[in-house]
Amino acid sequence: MVDQINLPDKIVTRLMREVLPEDVQISQEAKNAICKGASIFVLQLTIAAGEQARMNNRKSLQDKDMIASASNLGLTDYAQQLVRFSARKYPKQSTPSPLGISATTQTNDRKIFIL
């Protein structure tokens, strides 16, 4: 299944170029490795979030499932970024973070990519 699913090269390359200096070249092997890794990451996080939703007797994945799953997979920094992203994207929702992370925590001037 994983061999059949890959994120589009052009999108991944664009993301890579946004964070690398302009003079850095990206080999096709590097693009392929990042595409495969990103695809596996998305699948793993989605599977974990699906299990989280099932445990809460829901059929729809919600942002809190993704956040809790990221944390459960040991991706606490990523989970904190998801909390901040969710708070900015949906400011009127008052859904508490499943991790107890404050959505008002200031971010560094880093780019946050949510795939």
Give the model's confidence band at 111: pLDDT under 50 very low, under 70 low, under 90 confident, else very high: very low
CATH, range 2-89: 1.10.20.10
Using a pLDDT cut of 90, give the percent of the chain over it.
43
Each domain of the chain, given as residue ranges in start order, spans: 2-89
pTM of the shown model: 0.68
Yes or no: say if 87 and 102 are a contact pair by the CB < 8 Å rule. no
Task: Count CA atoms within 13 Å of residue 83 on its CB side.
Answer: 24
What is the per-residue pLDDT for 51?
94
Residue in 38, 93, 85 with CA at minimum distance from that of residue 66: 85
Map tokens 């989280």 to a residue. Answer: 52
Mean pLDDT of the chain: 80
The mean per-residue pLDDT over the stretch 18-23 comes to 93
Q: Is 61 left (phi over 0), alpha (psi -120 to 50) or beta?
A: beta
Using the predicted structure, report yes or no on whether residue 76 has a pLDDT greater than 70: yes
